[in-house]
Chain A
Amino acid sequence: KAGVTQTPRYLIKTRGQQVTLSCSPISGHRSVSWYQQTPGQGLQFLFEYFSETQRNKGNFPGRFSGRQFSNSRSEMNVSTLELGDSALYLCASSRTAQAGFEQYFGPGTRLTVT
Chain B
Amino acid sequence: GENVEQHPSTLSVQEGDSAVIKCTYSDSASNYFPWYKQELGKGPQLIIDIRSNVGEKKDQRIAVTLNKTAKHFSLHITETQPEDSAVYFCAASYTGGGNKLTFGTGTQLKVEL
Residues of A with Cβ closer than 8 Å to B?
A: 4, 31, 33, 35, 42-45, 48, 50, 55-56, 58, 90, 92, 94, 97-108
Contacts and interface: CB of A to CB of B under 8 A. Distances in A.
A55 B98 contact: yes
Please give me the 6 A-B residue pairs with the lowest Cβ-Cβ distance, nearest first: A105-B43, A43-B103, A100-B32, A56-B98, A99-B93, A105-B44
Interface in B94-108: 94-106
A105 B43 CA distance: 6
Interface residues of B, number: 28
B1 to A, nearest CB: 8
Interface of B: 31-32, 34, 36, 41-46, 49, 51, 89, 91, 93-106
12 contacts: A31-B98, A35-B101, A45-B100, A48-B100, A56-B97, A97-B99, A98-B98, A99-B96, A99-B98, A100-B51, A103-B101, A105-B36
Contacts, number: 76
A104 B98 contact: no
A23 to B, nearest CB: 11
Q: Is the interface of A mostly helix, strand, loop or mixed?
A: strand
Contacts of B106: 42
Nearest to B93: A99
Contact of A48 (B34, B51, B99, B102): B99
Contacts of B103: 42-44
B104 to A, nearest CB: 8
Given A48-B98, A50-B98, A56-B100, A102 B46 contact: yes
A100 B97 CA distance: 10
Nearest to A44: B103
B100 A100 contact: no
A20 B43 CA distance: 19
A100 B95 contact: yes
Contacts of A108: 42-43
Contacts of A33: 99-101
Nearest to B97: A99
